[in-house]
Chains A and B, each alone.
Chain A
Amino acid sequence: MKPSPFEYVAPTSMEEALAVLAGDPDETKVLAGGQSLVPMMNFRLARPERLVDINRIPGIAGTDVVADRLVIRTRTRHLALQNTSLPGPLGHLLRHAAAKVGHLPIRTRGTFGGSLAHCDAASEWCLVASLLDADITAESQARGSRTIAAADFFRSIFTTALEPDEILTSVSLPLLDDSWTAGIAEFARRAGDFGIVTATAAVQVVDGTVTEARVSLGGVGEVPFRSVAAESTMRGEAWTTDLITAAAQAAAEEVDPPSDIHGDAAYRRDLVRALLPRALGRP
């Protein structure tokens, strides 16, 4: 189908974009990569009266290392993160997560910030943000800039803490030093499909003991699910294959996944059990 008519504005500064949004926040949508918004408009599931296109604004794509964090600016394309030369466990995680986002012609266009703001339950970037307790920065004309913790950002399906007059401008993630292992494992029936279940994990090991553990799971709820059970199973314990198996078991017991045509709850639990070790590099 074709989208319903809309007014199109393509400002060349963030201030201008925020002003357009402030003028009519409820009927204006931000257009970044458009790889989720435009399909919804083509289906007429979304019928915004106005689009504010941020693709002509300079300086809002790319990444910067600031002290011990990586700042990802909002319009950074998925492909740029797939090709990032960032060293260490975070670079590894970003490259592997990006490679699972749709297909190449989606990754050339879709954006990191757009994925977070869209908040699809299967989004790899929402999982990464949840996993690493990202700080998410949003700006509005009325209230300026504010930072939202990932734990407070993802509210429910397609719903975030962003206000209608706000634009997500950047996201910061902790740089993980080499004491960390981080990864992602996803199960989908075909390459590029939305994952039925996706596991992300980051574990810090010092002298053979897990000092910090984080697990975030997709496809088991409306938003990324931090598995407290898996994390506490690993924290303080010796880093062994048995420990990973135990953590995967704990996560599988903790989740309360939905059943749908793609997989019932028991199947998704099994996927959690199978995928969490793979996210940590174990078969």
Chain B
Amino acid sequence: MSIPSAVPVRLYVNGDRYDVSVEPRRTLADALREDCGLTGTHLGCEHGVCGACTVLVDGQPMRSCLMFAVQAEGSSVRTVEGLAIDDTTLHPVQQAFWEHHGLQCGFCTPGFLTLAAGYLEEHPDAGEAELRDVLSSNLCRCTGYQNIVKATLAAQQAMNGDPDGDTDGDTDTDADVGGEPA
């Protein structure tokens, strides 16, 4: 069999059009990183377990390591680079992860941010159990998850315009670690 040559693929990433030329075997994750230059999407396991590569494809969270770029032809993709409102204003989920120590090394963070932002935008009234189930999609080896849950709940309140839920920075995150009911 001859090696298939690169094929043209048109992606709409974070509102910008990218015309790239990729081999069919190139995953969407690699195309985002290598061909679009958007290295915010991280690759951990490359077999759909860790969720670091999670992006929103046509609004739905997907593992970009389990999709080929050619399959995303014409699709709208949202990556972590597309979350912030502008250069100086973080997305509420990003802001909450910062304020609630929802990250340590940061490797898994893009996946968690896109997963949480996408879900909260579609399900503003999701309960804590539901959000925990969604967050269980991704792996984090630093935080122990409690602060990721806390950040996501705070982000939800901020996005819903609840002033009490806004993250004012004085939440006693460290003291609560480990004390959070499962």
Binding site for B on A (CB under 8 A): 1-8, 10, 27, 31, 34-35, 38-39, 41-43, 49, 51, 53, 55, 79, 102-106, 108-109, 190-192
**With known contacts A42-B46, A109-B63, A5–B4 Cβ distance under 8 A:** yes
Which residues of A are found within 8 Å of B27, using beta-carbon distances?
2-3, 38, 42
Whether the pair B1, A7 counts as a contact (CB closer than 8 A) is yes
Whether the pair B4, A35 counts as a contact (CB closer than 8 A) is no
CB-defined A-B contacts under 8 Å, sample of 25: A3-B25, A6-B24, A7-B1, A8-B70, A10-B71, A31-B71, A35-B48, A38-B27, A39-B47, A41-B25, A42-B46, A79-B60, A103-B136, A104-B61, A104-B115, A104-B119, A105-B54, A105-B62, A105-B137, A106-B137, A108-B62, A109-B60, A109-B66, A109-B67, A192-B136
* Nearest A residue to B49, CB-CB: A39
Whether the pair A42, B47 counts as a contact (CB closer than 8 A) is yes
**Which residues 27-80 of B sit at the A interface, judged by CB distance below 8 A?**
27, 30, 46-48, 51, 54, 60-63, 65-68, 70-71
Which residues of A are found within 8 Å of B63, using beta-carbon distances?
35, 105-106, 109
Which residues of B are found within 8 Å of A43, using beta-carbon distances?
47
Which residues of A are found within 8 Å of B137, using beta-carbon distances?
103-106, 192
- Size category, B interface: 20 to 34
Please report whether the interface of chain A is mostly helix, strand, loop or mixed according to DSSP: loop
Cβ of B134 within 8 Å of any chain A Cβ, yes or no, is: yes
Binding site for A on B (CB under 8 A): 1, 3-4, 7, 23-25, 27, 30, 46-48, 51, 54, 60-63, 65-68, 70-71, 115, 119, 133-134, 136-138
CB distance from A169 to the nearest CB of B (A): 20
Whether the pair B67, A34 counts as a contact (CB closer than 8 A) is yes
CB distance from B89 to the nearest CB of A (A): 26
**With known contacts A105-B54, A105-B61, A108-B61, A5–B3 Cβ distance under 8 A:** yes
**A5 to B65 alpha-carbon distance, docked (Å):** 16
Whether the pair A2, B30 counts as a contact (CB closer than 8 A) is yes
Whether the pair B25, A38 counts as a contact (CB closer than 8 A) is no
**A1 to B43 alpha-carbon distance, docked (Å):** 10
* Nearest A residue to B47, CB-CB: A39
Whether the pair B67, A6 counts as a contact (CB closer than 8 A) is no
Whether the pair A6, B66 counts as a contact (CB closer than 8 A) is no
* Nearest A residue to B30, CB-CB: A2
**A2 to B34 alpha-carbon distance, docked (Å):** 14
Whether the pair A4, B71 counts as a contact (CB closer than 8 A) is no
Q: Name the one of A5, A39, A53 contacting B71, with C-beta atoms under 8 angstroms.
A: A53
* Nearest B residue to A192, CB-CB: B136
Which residues of A are found within 8 Å of B66, using beta-carbon distances?
34-35, 38-39, 109
Whether the pair B47, A105 counts as a contact (CB closer than 8 A) is no
**A49 to B1 alpha-carbon distance, docked (Å):** 7
CB distance from B170 to the nearest CB of A (A): 32
Leading 5 A-B pairs by shortest Cβ distance: A8-B24, A103-B137, A39-B47, A191-B136, A108-B60
Which residues of A are found within 8 Å of B25, using beta-carbon distances?
2-6, 41
